[in-house]
Amino acid sequence: MKTLQPLELDKIRQELINHKVEYIEVIEELTDHIANGIEQQWRESNTHISFEEALTIEINKFGVKGLSKVQSTILNIKTQEFGLVVLKGVKDCLTSFKLLAVIAVVLSLYSLMTLTQHSLLLASLSNLIILIIFGIGQVIIFSETLKALQKYRYMNGYKKTLNDKSYSIIASVICIIVFGSTHSIKNYMSVTDNGILSLSFIYTTKSILFTLLLLTQYSAYFYLKPKYIRDKNNLLKTN
């Protein structure tokens, strides 16, 4: 039985690149699929079909829109996978021994906020400390996003990886959520009455919400990043 040679596999890859398939993983996956399709044509055909003819048939099965849809679908699946890793990290912190550290963070933030009752200076200092804490996390995550916007030598040029794209999407979403949420929580929950119960409720709620945002940043760095690096290293080893 006739099988495809490495040079022919490279021709499939190049044809996919010519059809605007952007990511290395998608190119490799489609190359395997198309190669199997070509070999199946050769097995089932009673007449000789050239490689070029068989390749054209397989590409036409997808069409330009079909290839784009496959690429988008695989990207969405990978992005959702990374998003679930972040959620798993947050859940792990809330359901393991790390919960003690989470409670300590909530109490620390609550204590910090109670200082705002004493003077405007302490209120400003409290807000500054919270902004610095979140700001450091934002800078770290944003820098990781920029690192993921690289291209790798592939075939006769440079291509992006779907792994990097998915990671940059999730990291960017986290940055936006944290920035928007901290701003909203700070402003929306600043309106209180003079009752002690009301102040206590506001500070408790803000402390919990801020802690959840910190957990999201923590999960992005200590759960998502290692997963992203493992997938990246595995990909680079095989290409």
Helix (H), strand (E), coil (C) string for 86-149: HHHHHHHHHHCCCHHHHHHHHHHHHHHHHHHHCCHHHHHHHHHHHHHHHHHHHHHHHHHHHHCC
pLDDT score, position 164: 95
Checking if the pLDDT of 94 tops 90, the result is yes
What residues have CB less than 8 Å from 111, skipping those under 6 apart? Answer: none
Percentage with pLDDT > 70 across the chain: 92
pLDDT score, position 125: 78
pLDDT tens digits, one per residue of 54-76: 999 999 999 989 999 999 999 99
Mean pLDDT over residues 143-154, rounded?
A: 85
pLDDT score, position 193: 43
pLDDT score, position 118: 67
Mean pLDDT over residues 15-30, rounded?
A: 95
Checking if the pLDDT of 22 tops 90, the result is yes
Contact 233, 111 (CB under 8 A): no
Mean pLDDT over residues 197-220, rounded?
A: 87
Mean pLDDT over residues 90-101, rounded?
A: 93
> Model confidence at 114, in pLDDT bands (50, 70, 90)?
confident
pLDDT score, position 129: 83
Checking if the pLDDT of 194 tops 60, the result is no
What residues have CB less than 8 Å from 92, skipping those under 6 apart? Answer: 98, 219, 223
pLDDT score, position 188: 60
Checking if the pLDDT of 217 tops 50, the result is yes
pLDDT score, position 189: 55
pLDDT tens digits, one per residue of 73-93: 999 999 999 999 999 999 999
pLDDT score, position 102: 94
Helix (H, G, I), strand (E, B) or coil at 41: helix
Mean pLDDT over residues 179-201, rounded?
A: 67
> Model confidence at 190, in pLDDT bands (50, 70, 90)?
low
172 burial level (CB within 10 Å; 0-12, 13-18, 19+): middle
Mean pLDDT over residues 222-239, rounded?
A: 90
